[in-house]
Every structure is written in C-alpha cells, then in structure tokens.
Structure 1
Amino acid sequence: MSCGQSCRSLGSLLLLLGGNLAVLVKIHENSINGTEGQSVLLRVSYRYHSDPQYPVKIVWDSGNMQDNLVTCSVLKCSLGAGGVPGICSAQIFYHPTYRNRIKLFPENGSLLLSDLRPSDSGVYSVTFQVSHQTFHINLTVHEEHHSTTEHPRESFLSHYYIIGICSSVCLLLLFLLFCCIRHRGAARQQQKRIIKQQQVSSVEESHMESTVVMDMATIYTRVGDSLEQSRQRPTPEVVYTSLSSPGPPQQDTGLYHLLV
C-alpha cells in the first residue's frame, strides 16, 4: 500500500470519527410516567463537540406507528459555552395524527406531548442522524384520578362553595323555624285573649244573672214584706161608746163613733 493510499484511509477514518463525535446527546430519563389528559416532556439535550455541520437532522419515532412522529432539520444555531445550542432556526414536520398534541424544541431536541391518552403509552425513540445515535424512552400513561389530579385552588373553591351553600340552607331553615315559632306564639296569645274574653264575658253574664236574680228576689222580698206588713196591720174597728160631756145636766147625751 502506497503512502498516498494510507493517508487517504486515515483521513477518511478521522472524518468518520469526527462526524460521529460531532454531536453529544444525553437522555435525562429512560422511563417516564404520565397522566391521562395531562402533558409530559420527553427530555433530551445535545451539544456540539466541534464545529457543527448543518443541517442537523433530528427524528422522533413511536412504536405505535410506522411513520415518523416528528422530523426536524436544524439549519443553524447560536452556540453557547461548551457548544450548547442557543437560538436555532429549523424546519419541523409533524405527523398529522399528532399535529395539535406535540411540539419539538430544536434547541435541545426534547419532545412535548399534550392531552395524553392511554394509547400514547409505548416506546419513543429519537435519532440524531449526524452521529447516527438513537435513544429510547419508555412512556406509560395512567388513567386520570379526579381525587388526586384536582387542582388545590379548584378544590378549595369547591369546598368554599359547598360550605357557603350549607350555611345558606341552615340560615334559611333557622329563619323558617323562627317564623314558625313566632306564628305559634302569636296564635297562642290570640287563643289566650279569646279565652280571657270568654271568661270575662261569662263572669259578667253570671254577675248580671245574679244581679237580676237578686233584684227579683229583692222585689219579691219587698213585695212580701209589704204584704206581710199589710197583713199584720190590724183592720180598723168601729167601737161604739157613749160620751157625756160635762155641762148642764139638762143637755142631751148621744152616741159617738170612735175609730180605733
């Protein structure tokens, strides 16, 4: 083998190694749990080990479908310390089935899934085609539990509304009870007044009856007394007697009537 051929082979090997080490990829979690109806982030990050060779192609796939889930071509990025991408310009293509539920961030390659469904559970893989590196993340979507997923503020407000409604109902019942007791008290007072009036009327009627009886008895007594007195009074008797008046003996003597 000539020197020229050896140099060309070594250069090709270095170029291949440089291409493989041009992008360093990191997966933060191999397994992630999500909740139905919520969102989850499949976290990935990468940095350039050397001068980047654009475009950098990032592809996300799902074990539940045959076509690519997301295809992203990073056209250019501003690099920070350690070759970490800053602001990037990219072309992103989403699968129509997930168009409204997924979003890819070209600055780090992470994938956001929203409005999770149980059918979203499965293995997701991301491939950086510059370095031909593929990484896998297992996603498990759990069914929603209202008791555990309820927002604290919403729970507080719901409890507050329940307490307010119960308090209003209790106040209404107390008001109705007060009105009922007051109505019964007024009815009893009215009944007592009627009874007292009836008693007073009865006393007055009995007094009048006794007065009438007494008056009649008095009348009868007076009439009886009068009759008795009239009966006890002696009837006048006519007594005949002869009276002589002193005078000359030649005058006539006669009979005179004396009523006793």
Structure 2
Amino acid sequence: MISLQGCCTLCSILMFVRGNLGVLINIHQEVVNGIVGQSVLLPLSYRFSRAPRFPVSIVWMFTNDMDVVVSCTLLNCSLGAGGDPSNCSANRFPQPAYRGRAELFPENGSLLLRDLQLSDSGVYSVSFRPSYQTRRLVLTVHEQRSTPEHPGSELSGGGGTAIPCYVFGGCYCFILLVLQLLFHLRWRRPNSWEASDAVSPSVPGTKSRQGRLRRGAAPQSP
C-alpha cells in the first residue's frame, strides 16, 4: 500500500515537471507605462520545448481584482525549428468588461489594451495551461498632459482668444512712428513762418517797408 502511494506521488511529480518544461515563457518588459485614452501592448513571447498536446489555454488576468481579462484556446499551431508557434488556430474569449478593449495574439501571447483608464493600472498575470506556468508584469497608466492649443493662450487670463506678443510689438512700433512724425511736423511749422518773415540782407530797408505795408501805411518815395 505504501509503495503504491509512493509510486503515485512520483508519477504526479513527473507529470508536473513534464508539463512545466513544455512551454518556455519570456516577458520582454516587466514594467509598462501607458497614457489615458491610448493603447498599450503587454509584450510576451513563448515557445514549446517539444510538440505540445493541444488544446493549450492562455489566460490573462488583472490580479488587482482577480478578474479574467481575456482567454485564448490554442487548437493547433505550426512549430518552427526552435519551437516558436505560428499560424495558430485559436478561439478567443474576452470578458464583457473588456470586450472591444482587450486583444490577445495567439502566436506570441501578448495582450493589447485599448482606451486605457487610470483604473487599468496594476499587476497583470498570464498563465499557460495545462503547464500552469504564470508570469506577471506591472502596468502604470498616466494622465495625458494638456498643452495649450495656441501659443500664448496661457497669457490671456480667461476664456477669450489670446493675442500673440508680436501683435502688441507691431502696434507699439506703429504708434511710436506716428508720434515721431507729428512731432517732426510740429517742429518744422514755426521755422517755416520765420523763414517767410526773414529779409534779405542785400536789400536795405526791405524789412521796414514790409512792416509798413502790413500796418496799412502807404509806402514813401525815396
């Protein structure tokens, strides 16, 4: 009786070890970052150390809530020289909460998550059955940084349309040019009046005669 139990225990261990050696899993990135509203890939690859016994099941879980994200049943795959699967025939079963958001790729086991939310941050695990090998990785979802639609909008001080700084500079230069032109004209006008009253030094007595003519006096004969 004891020998029978020992034989059964040894057989179970051999079957467990044999199952674990059937699939070799490789996590390419243990920490993944994503942005709200975008998509992210949880990268994975696997290969078979020998011809597997189909069907083989791949299950992705969100371990924070212990919820199944998506599962896939491999019905058949073509194996390369290194045991890499290709042209897999598979059935995918996304959970209702992740329908349209989660996609599992049978050839490499990677998981694609779309339309990320902050609540998607956490630890994800992938399991291969019947070998029951499990690997984990961490996903961190960040909020999308908002940038102003137009340069200088942060200076507007409200919800109105922002005016670029170069517009203010152009207006200032134009106003300064107009002021300089007005000042120049005002400065030249008195000089023109003085020039009209000036007398030629070559004709003596002209100034006095013009003064008398302005006062209405009759000119005197020399």
TM range (shorter): 0.5 to 0.7
Q: Distance in 2 between matches of 1:58 and 1:71?
A: 6
Deviation of 1:168 (Å) = 4.8
The structure with more helix, counted as a fraction of residues: 1
Deviation of 1:36 (Å) = 4.0
Q: Residue in 2 aligned with 1:69?
A: 69
Q: Residue in 1 aligned with 2:81?
A: 81
Partner-residue secondary structure (3-state), 2:82 = helix
Residue-by-residue CA offset, 1:8-59 (whole Å, 9 max, x unaligned): 9998876665444222222334444444445433222210111122222111
Q: Distance in 2 between matches of 1:81 and 1:183?
A: 90
Question: Does 1:21 pair with 2:26?
Answer: no
Q: Residue in 1 aligned with 2:169?
A: 170
Q: How does 1:224-235 map to 2 (within 5 A)?
A: none
Q: Which amino acid aligns with 2:90?
A: A
Q: Which amino acid aligns with 2:180?
A: I
| Alignment gaps of 5+ in structure 2 | 2-6, 153-163, 199-206
**TM-score, length of structure 1 as denominator length:** 0.58
Q: Residue in 1 aligned with 2:40?
A: 40
Partner-residue secondary structure (3-state), 2:68 = coil
Residue-by-residue CA offset, 1:174-203 (whole Å, 9 max, x unaligned): 23432342244335445654x448847xx7
Given the superposition, is the C-alpha separation of residues 96 and 9 from structure 1 closer, same or farther in structure 2, using an over 3 Å criterion? Answer: closer
Q: Residue in 2 aligned with 1:206?
A: 211
Deviation of 1:208 (Å) = 1.0
Q: How does 1:123-202 map to 2 (within 5 A)?
A: 123-145=123-145, 165-190=164-189, 192-193=191-192, 195-196=193-194, 199=197
Deviation of 1:213 (Å) = 6.1
Partner-residue secondary structure (3-state), 2:51 = coil
> Does the Cα contact within 8 Å between 1:20 and 1:131 map onto a contact in 2?
yes
| Alignment gaps of 5+ in structure 1 | 2-6, 160-164, 219-260
Q: Which amino acid aligns with 1:171?
A: G
Given the superposition, is the C-alpha separation of residues 39 and 185 from structure 1 closer, same or farther in structure 2, using an over 3 Å criterion? Answer: same
> Does the Cα contact within 8 Å between 2:212 and 2:218 map onto a contact in 1?
no
Given the superposition, is the C-alpha separation of residues 211 and 62 from structure 1 closer, same or farther in structure 2, using an over 3 Å criterion? Answer: closer
> Does the Cα contact within 8 Å between 2:69 and 2:95 map onto a contact in 1?
yes
> Does the Cα contact within 8 Å between 1:23 and 1:130 map onto a contact in 2?
no
Identity %: 42
Partner-residue secondary structure (3-state), 1:45 = strand
Q: Distance in 2 between matches of 1:10 and 1:63?
A: 32
Deviation of 1:104 (Å) = 1.9
Given the superposition, is the C-alpha separation of residues 120 and 8 from structure 1 closer, same or farther in structure 2, using an over 3 Å criterion? Answer: closer
RMSD: 4.0
**TM-score, length of structure 2 as denominator length:** 0.65
Deviation of 1:124 (Å) = 1.2
Q: Distance in 1 between matches of 2:69 and 2:30?
A: 18
Given the superposition, is the C-alpha separation of residues 183 and 88 from structure 1 closer, same or farther in structure 2, using an over 3 Å criterion? Answer: farther
Q: Which amino acid aligns with 2:217?
A: V
Q: Residue in 1 aligned with 2:203?
A: none
Deviation of 1:131 (Å) = 0.9
Q: Distance in 2 between matches of 1:184 and 1:129?
A: 92
The number of residues matched between the two structures is 196
